[in-house]
Amino acid sequence: MSVHLIQISFIRLLLKRQRGGVVLPMILLLTGCTSIPQGIEPVNGFDVNRYLGTWYEIARYDHSFERDLEQVTAQYSMRKDGGIKVINRGFNPIKQTWEEAVGKAYFVGREDVGHLKVSFFGPFYASYVIFSLDIEGYEYAMITGPNRDYLWMLARQPKLSSDATQVLLKKAHEAGFDTQKLIFIKQDIRELSE
């Protein structure tokens, strides 16, 4: 899911376009962003223990770090240091391979607020903002990054009901996201165990 892969992609792009001594400061400035988009409120009453486990990516904005991936999942578990281990996994049908990224996440502030920082590349973190969550059942959630260029719709099951999908689309639209840009992800249950 994956704000988490933003850093790796972006850093590679910067390194390819390296111009003198500008790259390192740009990397530090842009990958250390743990801000919240203006007008977005992370969920309150967040319970990390209920959030742990496997989430299926239902829809997302298109980004190079997830392009062409299907059957995308995010798995969260506790780390010994109190952080959260993140494993993002997706199938690339063009290459016929599974792609995986392992990272770590930590709360930016209070642990009952859905605002975390996530890293897949050393000390560089990106914002992970849970701004919509089924608080009763923890069955679906919407996540953004440091700005509205990032949007993910996640669920505990590979498919989300039409009603729940419409509720999330409405919330995303009301939060200022262009829901027409969402790509709905193919989740083929029979392949997930490979």
Digit-coded pLDDT (tens) for 6-43: 444 444 443 444 444 443 333 433 445 778 889 999 99
The pLDDT assigned to 51 comes to 98
Q: Which residue has the higher pLDDT, 162 or 24?
A: 162
What's the pLDDT at 10? 44
Tell me what the pLDDT averaged over the chain comes to. Answer: 84
The single-letter code of the amino acid at 82 is G
Q: Which homologous superfamily does the CATH classification assign to the domain defined by 2-187?
A: Calycin beta-barrel core domain (2.40.128.20)
- Residues near 55 by Cβ (< 8 Å), separated by ≥ 6? 1, 73, 74, 75, 76, 141, 154, 155, 156
Q: Which residues lie below 8 Å from residue 52, measured CB to CB, with a gap of 6+?
A: 76, 77, 78, 84
Phi, psi of 83 (to 5 degrees): -80, -170
